[in-house]
Amino acid sequence: MAGAEDKLAEIVRHVVAVFEPKIAVRLWTGEWLGPADGPVLALNDPAAIARLVVSPNIATAVGLWMTKAIDVEHGTIFDLARARPDIRTKAAMKRIDKLKIAASLPALYGLSRRAKASGPASGEDAKASGSSKAAIQFHYDVSNDFYRLFLDSRMLYSCAYFDGWHEDIDKAQLDKLDMICRKLRLKAGERFLDIGCGWGALLIHAAETYGVTGHGVTLSQAQFDLARERIAARGLEGKVTVELKPFEDLTGQFDKVASIGMFEHVGWDRHDAYLKAVRKLLRPNGLYLHHAITRPAKESDKAFRKGTKEYAAIIRYIFPGAELDHVGHSAQYLEKHRFEVHDVENWREHYARTCRLWHDRLLSRMDEAAAIAGEERARLWLLYLAGVSLGFERGGLLIYQTLASKRSRGASGLPPTRRDLYRD
| Signed CA dihedral, 50, 54, 57, 60: sign only | negative
Angle, CA 297 vertex, CA 291 and CA 301 arms, to 5°: 105
133-422: CATH, from 3.50.50.60, 3.40.50.150, 2.60.40.2700, 3.40.50.300: 3.40.50.150
Nearest to 396 by CA among 405, 387, 406: 387
HEC letters along 265-323: HCCHHHHHHHHHHHHHHEEEEEEEEEEEEECCCCCCHHHHHHCCHHHHHHHHHCCCCCC
Instruction: Give the model's pLDDT for residue 2.
Output: 64
Amino acid code (one letter) for 160: A
Instruction: Give the model's pLDDT for residue 126.
Output: 40
Mean pLDDT, contiguous 10-residue spans, the chain (424 residues): 85 91 93 90 94 86 91 95 84 87 88 66 44 44 86 96 97 98 98 97 98 96 94 97 95 97 92 97 96 94 81 66 90 97 98 98 97 93 93 94 93 93 80
Ranges in the chain annotated CATH 3.40.50.150:
133-422
Instruction: Give the model's pLDDT for residue 210.
Output: 98
